[in-house]
A and B are shown apart, each in its own frame.
Chain A
Amino acid sequence: MSIGLTLLVVVGILFLFGIGHRVLDRMRLNDKAALLFMLAILIGSLIPDIPLGRRLSINVGGAVIPLILAGYVFSKAGTSWERTRTVLASVLSGVGVFIAGRILPHEPETMIVDPNYIYGIIAGIIAYLFGRSRRASFIAGILGVLLADIGQGIINSVQNIPSPVRLGGAGVVDAVVISGFLAVFLAEAVGEFREKIQGGTSKKDMTFHKGEFIKLADLDADKEREDEGEKQR
């Protein structure tokens, strides 16, 4: 490949790297952790897929690392209610992505938004509606695409269609990663936009608890639940 074309590919990778780093930064991962995760996604993308079955495989950079990241972010969720909302958002996002695949036009040029980004946008909106946080958006963005792929794999297997299911198979440029990142950007943009419209932060009647802004009522409820848990123990 000529120097120009190589540069073109390198610029593309750096572009993605920058976006990824920025997204992880918005989820309050420190610089080092964000860089490490991005490197892991990039290097993991180059490793051959791990076979999980006859027609099922998983990519390290495109699915395993994003899943680990989602798990880490999930464990940092402030309240149990946030966790419940995240799980709900992820399932709904999976259903949304699956349905979108079925009802949207099948040729990319007929779509206003390219197929690689439409899933991220759908997952992002669903995640924002039901998760209401960057963390929930990220998790739902990632799980939405993976769940939809697993669902399609089951249908293909029942119908005996010999199409493989490669979870996150395109690595760093897979819809799994793109959806996760895009969902965070969307949550960020929608959140900021709403804040501007309503003329200031809605967090003025909130409190900062466990790394997250939560409503005072939610904090009380969470504390009560924790106290009950301790009492039962």
Chain B
Amino acid sequence: MPIKKGRMKVKNKGRVLGIGLITAIVFLNMLSPGASRADDWYRQDEPGFFTLFDEAGQELTAMGREMLKNDEYISGDNKHYSVIRVDKRKRSAFAKYLGDIKLPEFEEIEDWSVETAAKGGGGGSVLLYCTHSDESYVPTDGQSSIPGKGGIFKVAGRLKNGLNKGGIDAILDQSGHEPHDAGAYRRSRQTAVNLIKKNMPVIAVFDVHRDAVPKSHYETTVNGKSMSKVRMVIGKRNQNRNANEELAHKIKAIADKEHPGLVKDIYIGQGEYNQELSPRSLLFEFGTHEISREAAEKAAETMSDVIVKAIKGGTIISKPKAQTPAPGEKTTKPPKGTKGKAFKVKPISQEQPKGAGKGILKFIIVAAAGLVVFILISKSRNEIADSFAGLFGKKRRD
């Protein structure tokens, strides 16, 4: 009997240890101000968003997602930062300047009087879905969250229509992924996979969102038209990161020339955002919950023009900077007699993506590291020694 009691004790120890481990994992994952608060994450009385500062204390940006150490940020003026410190209590992050990002350059052309129609790009579809299907715009939709029928679908719809007009086969899946909790990305993964499965070959996959920061961060005027800015978010934790970054850089380069002010910035966070499913996957933030949906829709339409050119190629016209609109004036035109520059953009099918090679290399390194850890855990010293002895022609021990 005493032996049995002893055994029970050991057994219970294991369970207590395990329950402690689960609690620890859940607790560690919960150690964030954004835990399980879905759309009340941002609150007027208490700013739930994170603000990013440079080392000199100058504000760089704000984001309705948590910022973590080693996140990366590419500002509107192409400055590359890495987050070095996060103060969770104050919801502030501090970033180190790493240098300037070199966006793709396009060949300047002389004859730009007639804009050449985009022709290339090859076959394939651009797939759209909204992980946070409840996200809405308060001034237009009346609330920030409408489960299953968020205003975000209208913004994504406008993006889709714009892409279709530009000759791209864009497909929008309007599946809901409620509730807006930790499982939303797991559910939207199913939507993304179904979309990919039904619409092969795939050119790109876009997850359409809106941010949750004060509207001042997203208000802008592009070529004289008032609209919302657009942020691109890329996940660090997947093998497609480089391929995704390549597309994001190309989109930003085109937008900066033809629609300056449209692309707010690029944020490279720690999540996967289902971007490992297909190369050229991006997450877009069209405006914020405080901005009108019309402004976000306008941005989506303008962005569709940028994406069409990034995929199919064509000519982009960089106009001279418009003058600041006078009070009450809605649009402004560049001063008469001033000429802009024209550039030729290659279709995506004619590019040699460097990101894919890096992705494969990462995959192999991760797989090899995993294998080594597994062998170290599951094999004894003698077994490992025997395996290597066999490799070098030595006789194995019996």
Interface positions of A (Cβ within 8 A of B): 1-2, 4-5, 7-9, 11-12, 15, 18, 45-46, 48-49, 59, 62, 96, 100-116, 118-119, 121-122, 125-126, 128-129, 148, 152, 156, 159, 161-164, 166, 169-171, 173-175, 185, 188-189, 192-194, 196
Please determine whether B29 and A104 come into contact, CB atoms closer than 8 angstroms: yes
A6: nearest residue on chain B (CB-CB)? B356
Please determine whether A105 and B186 come into contact, CB atoms closer than 8 angstroms: no
Query: Which has the most chain A C-beta neighbours within 10 Å: B18, B203, B356?
Result: B356
Inter-chain contacts of A156 with B (CB < 8 A): 178
B270: nearest residue on chain A (CB-CB)? A109
Asked whether B43 is an interface residue with its Cβ less than 8 Å from the other chain, the reply is no
- A sample of 12 cross-chain residue pairs with beta-carbon separation below 8 angstroms, ordered by A number, consists of A12-B239, A101-B186, A106-B34, A106-B37, A108-B235, A111-B32, A114-B237, A115-B186, A122-B26, A128-B18, A166-B190, A169-B193
Please determine whether A162 and B189 come into contact, CB atoms closer than 8 angstroms: no
From B98-106, B252-260, B276-284, B292-300, the one touching the partner chain is B276-284
Instruction: Give, as a whole number of angstroms, the nearest-CB distance from A161 to chain B.
Output: 5
Instruction: Give, as a whole number of angstroms, the nearest-CB distance from A77 to chain B.
Output: 19
Please determine whether B177 and A163 come into contact, CB atoms closer than 8 angstroms: yes
Instruction: Give, as a whole number of angstroms, the nearest-CB distance from A7 to chain B.
Output: 6
Whole-angstrom CA separation of A218 from B150 in the bound complex: 56
A169: nearest residue on chain B (CB-CB)? B190
Asked whether B80 is an interface residue with its Cβ less than 8 Å from the other chain, the reply is no
Instruction: Give, as a whole number of angstroms, the nearest-CB distance from B367 to chain A.
Output: 6
Please determine whether A192 and B377 come into contact, CB atoms closer than 8 angstroms: yes
Other A-B pairs beyond A100-B26, A174-B189, 17, CB < 8 Å: A48-B197, A102-B181, A102-B182, A104-B26, A104-B30, A105-B182, A106-B37, A108-B272, A109-B235, A109-B269, A116-B186, A122-B25, A129-B15, A161-B178, A163-B133, A173-B277, A192-B378
Inter-chain contacts of B176 with A (CB < 8 A): 161-164
Please determine whether B30 and A114 come into contact, CB atoms closer than 8 angstroms: no
Please determine whether B194 and A169 come into contact, CB atoms closer than 8 angstroms: yes
Whole-angstrom CA separation of A105 from B269 in the bound complex: 15
Asked whether B240 is an interface residue with its Cβ less than 8 Å from the other chain, the reply is yes
Asked whether B215 is an interface residue with its Cβ less than 8 Å from the other chain, the reply is no
Given A1-B201, A105-B32, A114-B237: A164 touches B175 (CB 8 Å cut-off): yes
Please determine whether B182 and A101 come into contact, CB atoms closer than 8 angstroms: yes
Please determine whether A8 and B34 come into contact, CB atoms closer than 8 angstroms: no
Whole-angstrom CA separation of A62 from B197 in the bound complex: 13
Asked whether B167 is an interface residue with its Cβ less than 8 Å from the other chain, the reply is no
Instruction: Give, as a whole number of angstroms, the nearest-CB distance from A68 to chain B.
Output: 20
Instruction: Give, as a whole number of angstroms, the nearest-CB distance from B352 to chain A.
Output: 7
Please determine whether A112 and B30 come into contact, CB atoms closer than 8 angstroms: no
Instruction: Give, as a whole number of angstroms, the nearest-CB distance from B150 to chain A.
Output: 11
Given A4-B356, A12-B276, A166-B194: A111 touches B29 (CB 8 Å cut-off): yes
Whole-angstrom CA separation of A109 from B238 in the bound complex: 12
B window 240-265: CB within 8 A of A: 240, 243
Asked whether B311 is an interface residue with its Cβ less than 8 Å from the other chain, the reply is no
Inter-chain contacts of B201 with A (CB < 8 A): 1
Please determine whether A4 and B239 come into contact, CB atoms closer than 8 angstroms: no
Asked whether B187 is an interface residue with its Cβ less than 8 Å from the other chain, the reply is yes
Inter-chain contacts of A46 with B (CB < 8 A): 197
Inter-chain contacts of B26 with A (CB < 8 A): 100, 103-104, 122
Inter-chain contacts of B279 with A (CB < 8 A): 1, 5, 8-9
CB < 8 Å: which of A129, A152, A170 contacts B190? A170
Asked whether B138 is an interface residue with its Cβ less than 8 Å from the other chain, the reply is no
Asked whether B56 is an interface residue with its Cβ less than 8 Å from the other chain, the reply is no
Inter-chain contacts of B182 with A (CB < 8 A): 100-106, 111, 115, 118
Instruction: Give, as a whole number of angstroms, the nearest-CB distance from B276 to chain A.
Output: 7
Given A46-B197, A114-B272, A161-B178: A7 touches B29 (CB 8 Å cut-off): no
Please determine whether A11 and B32 come into contact, CB atoms closer than 8 angstroms: no
